[in-house]
Every structure is written in C-alpha cells, then in structure tokens.
Amino acid sequence: MLLEIRDIHVHYSGVAALKGVSMQVPEDGIVTIIGANGAGKSTTLRAVSGLTSISSGEIWFAGERIDTLTADKVVARGIAQVPEGRRIFPDLTVEENLRTGAFLRSDKSDIEHDLEKIFNRFPRLRERRRQWAKTLSGGEQQMVAIGRALMARPRLLLLDEPSMGLAPVVIQEIARIIREIVREGVPVVLVEQNAELALGLANYAYVLETGSVSLDGAADNLHENEHVKRAYLGV
Amino acid sequence: MTELLLQTVVNAVYAASYMSLIAVGLVLIFGVMGVINFAHGELYMAGAYTVVALYSQMNVPFLAAVAAGLIFVGALGILMEYAFFRPLRDNPLGGLIASIGFLLILQTTAVLGFGVRMAHIKPPTQAKIELMEGVVLTHQRLFVIVAAIALLSALYVFLRKTKFGWAMRACAQDKEAAALQGISLNQITRIAMFIGAGLAGVAGALTAPLVSPTPYMGHSVIVTAFIIIIVGGIGQLEGAVVAAILYAFVHTFVTTFFDGVVADIVGLVLMLVVLVIKPTGLFGAKERA
C-alpha cells in the first residue's frame, strides 16, 4: 500500500470530526471518498497533508510515518493536494501559480518541460499565462490548481471536490484529466460530493458518515449498493 | 520662486525615497506575517545608531556601516520573528503587543548605550551638486535616493522573478495553500522579517548623518509610515511606494510654504480623505480573508 490511514481521530476544538478512520490507497488507480457535507472527507485529506493534526492513530506513506510532519514536509515526501475551493493564489499570474507548485524542485530543465506539458494539457492556460489568476473562470482556476499540484511531480495526488461549482461540461473535462493523470502513473485520492462522478471514475470507494467509514468496497459494487443508491445517487 | 519650487521638489524626492524604504518594509511584514510591527520605527532608529556606533565612534567607513546597519537590523527582525511572531502566529493582537514591548526594549537599550541626547554625525561628504542657480542636492542626499531606488528595484525583481519571491507573495495571499506547495512558512517569514526590518535599518543608517539620531526618533517615523500604508492600501507594496511619494511631496511642500505642524495636520487629513473616499486605500483591493 502506498498510503495507509490507521484508525485516525481528529478533533476540532473538542468536537470529534473523525472517529477512527482507516483507509488504504494502492500504488495505482483512483480511490474515492464520498459522503455528505461535514462527514469528514476534507478533514481526512487535511490530516494526510499535515494541515490538521490528528489526536490519535497513524498515517503511513511509502513505508514512512508521516502524521507528525508539517505540511511542507508532507509535500516533500511526494503528496500533493488540490484543496477544496481550489485556493489558487489570486494575485499571482497563472504561470507563477504553476511555478509555486515546483517550489521544492531544483531540476530546472525538467521544470520547464513539465510546465510545457501542463500548457499542452490545458491550452487555455498557455494563452493566459501572464494574467492574474483571479481573472480566470472557475474551470480555468481548477485547471491551475490541478496543474500546480502536478508541477510537484507527486507520487500521490489528493483532489478535494474538483467538481465543486463547475458546469457539467467542465466537470466532464476535469474527469477526463483525472483519468489521464492516473494513466500516466500517479494514483489519485478523490473526495467528492458528486457520488455518481466519483464512483464512475474510481476503482475503490469509501463512504464516510459522521466521521467514520460506514462502507467500503470496489466502486462498481458500491454503485449497486442499495444504501449508496438511496443516500448518495438519488435513485 | 522657481528655484524654491525646484529645491522643494528635490527635498521631496529625498524624503520620498527613505520613507518608501520604511513603509515598504512595514507592508512586507504585515503582508506575510499579518502583524502590525509597532517596533518598525525603532528598527529605523537601530539602523541609525549602527552608524553612530560604527562610523562616528569606531571610524568604520560609512558604506560599511550602512551595510552593517542593514544586516544588524535584519537580524533583529529575524530575532523578533523567532521570539514573538512565531509563537504568536495565530494571535495577531498578541504579535502587535509583543512588538510594542520590543520597541521599549530597543529604545531603552539605545538610551543606556548612547544617552538621551542627540547624536551628531559628521557627514561623510560635504560635496553637493548645484542642479541650477540656487537648487542644490548634497551628495549625501543623492546617495540616499540612489540607494533607495536600487534597493526597491532589487526587491521588486526578487518578488517577481525568483521562486522565493513567488513563495513570499503566495504566503501573503494564502498560507495554507502555500504550505501545500511545499513552502515552509517558517523559512519565508524569516526571509520577510529580514528584508522588512533590514529596509527600515538601512533607511535609518543612510539618513543618520542628516537627521541627528535620538533614541526616540522612531516615534514620528512610525506615525508617518502608518499614514503611508493606510493611504496606499494595507498590504500593497506598490501602493506603499506611491503613497510614500505622494505623502513626501505634500508634507515637504506644506512644510516649506507653511510650517511643519501644518504639514503633519495635512498629512493626517490626507489619510482621512482617502479613508472616506476609498477605505481600502488608493491601491487596496477587496479585503482578503
């Protein structure tokens, strides 16, 4: 397993947000975490990235315990995150945003090469490379956020609600990009409220309900699960 | 009359240059750390006393003393970050109060070391350029202007063209998202404090021979710097430079043609007018969370 979350608990000022969550993420494919608002999906990703400290449990990545590391050290180990709400830097240009993703890298020519690759993948970003990021549309901002994370050359990519606030046609484009990233060998943990989209993309799925895993299994199986259908797929 | 006008312009350019250095440092610290550094005027004072100690008392060459002022006060900035601002990172009010405490420490140290009286420094050069009949620019002032332009240009290039510059701007905009790019907050705040404090220090060091330092010289400087960053828009580096130029011209002209007290009042009125018309300052955007 590339990433292993072992029985983690998280408290926000005394209130339990995660109550013993365990998950496993293999070396390839997509693992998705679905669940309602406030179920603890983002908290799980924040804990992995070192943005939120856990009160008990362990997080292991590639054979190393990472739950005591600060966020920048977690990135150095190879975990990049596209946070909820994209969180691009509004007063940096598109290109500067992308380059901050490569902050820890010193391989200059490879950075230029990766930047080219991202501009080829997102041609609209190339046109806008010198614009302030805040002037972009929501879909373009999401592309900047994903491109920025890829600039780190991550070994694992965490995506928090990439479909949030986007038009259906843009969501389809984002889905295509996620498939492409996985095909190129970067495993993805996808947090989504849009369960239909998430189960369609993923190989394996966890369902979070009020801070614990209520169900997990192959994404295809969960897609046919009666409870999941009723609660998350709206059928 | 033309000579007087031109001479006043020259004086205003000089004032604008060292005020820009101080205000930009203050804005940089606020932008990255989110704290108002009340000790900023005393950092300026510490830079001036570095020149008093090294150049006046120990006969170190003036330029070397100025460089020492930048490095010493920059190091004081790192000390402040380490001792106060880092432990109080989630508590901006605490950071502000700690900086007031540090201000008193610096003032008292200067009094103990150098006494309360004005320190007179023999200018390293008495040479001057006569721009035209009756319009004079001393080499000392010209040096301050050139140094300010050089330092601010270097800062601009650093912020726009280097990866640590992008990282610093990224931290100022969204600390958590910056950490998710692998940017170490501790490292960036340390650099920001060194630069921000160092700019105040170098302003004090450069102007020391022109102003006769006292341990309390920081007081008027910090008030001026606050007016400038409010007029320019808090957190806006370009705004600070433009506002410093605007303020310096207004203040210098009013001082010349009326008097200094009226100039201070006009400066405050300028700030009030900006606050009424555009509360975010001339360059301020919408408030960021």
ipTM for the complex? 0.94
Of A51, A31, A34, nearest in space to A43 by CA: A51
| pLDDT (tens digit per residue) in B67-96 | 999 999 999 999 999 999 999 988 888 999
As a whole number of angstroms, the distance between CA B24 and CA B26 comes to: 5
CB proximity A93 to B under 8 Å: no
Residue A91 is nearest to which of B173, B176, B181, comparing CB atoms?
B173
Domain extent at residue A26 = 3-233
Distance CA B162, CA B168 (A): 10
**A51 in B contact zone (CB under 8 Å):** yes
Looking at per-residue pLDDT, the higher value among B287 and B38 belongs to B38
Nearest residue to A189 via CA among A206, A172, A173, A174: A206
Residue A161, domain CATH: 3.40.50.300
CB–CB of B181 and A100 under 8 A? yes
Q: Where are the domains of chain B?
A: 2-217
pLDDT at B282 over 90: no
Binned at pLDDT 50, 70 and 90, residue B285 comes out as: low
Identity at B199, one-letter amino acid code: L
Helix axes A108-121, A138-150, angle to 10 degrees: 150
**Minimum distance, in Å, between the CA of residue B1 and any CA atom of chain A:** 45
Q: A85 — contact with chain B (CB < 8 Å)?
A: no
Quick: pLDDT tens for B107-157. 999 999 999 988 888 888 889 998 888 899 999 999 999 999 999 999 999
Contacts of A88 in chain B (CB under 8 A): 177
A108 touches B: beta carbon within 8 Å: no
Asked if A90 lies within 8 A of B173 by C-beta distance, the reply is: yes
3 state DSSP class of A60: strand
Classify A161 in phi/psi space as left (phi over 0), alpha (psi -120 to 50) or beta. left
**Nearest CB neighbour to A87, from listed B174, B184, B185:** B174
Q: How many domains does chain A have?
A: 1
Q: How far is A172 from chain B (nearest CA, A)?
A: 25
Nearest to B180 among A49, A92, A96 (CB): A49
Shortest CA gap A18–chain B (Å): 21
Residue B268 phi, psi dihedral angles, 5° rounding: -65, -40
Q: Place B289 in a pLDDT band, splitting at 50, 70 and 90.
A: very low
pLDDT tens, residue by residue, B17-35 = 999 999 999 999 988 888 8
A218-223: long-range pairs with CB below 8 Å, 24+: A219/A32, A223/A199
With beta carbons under 8 A apart, name residues in chain A contacting B180.
49, 51, 71, 75, 80-81, 83, 87
> Considering only alpha carbons, which residue of chain B is nearest residue A78?
B182
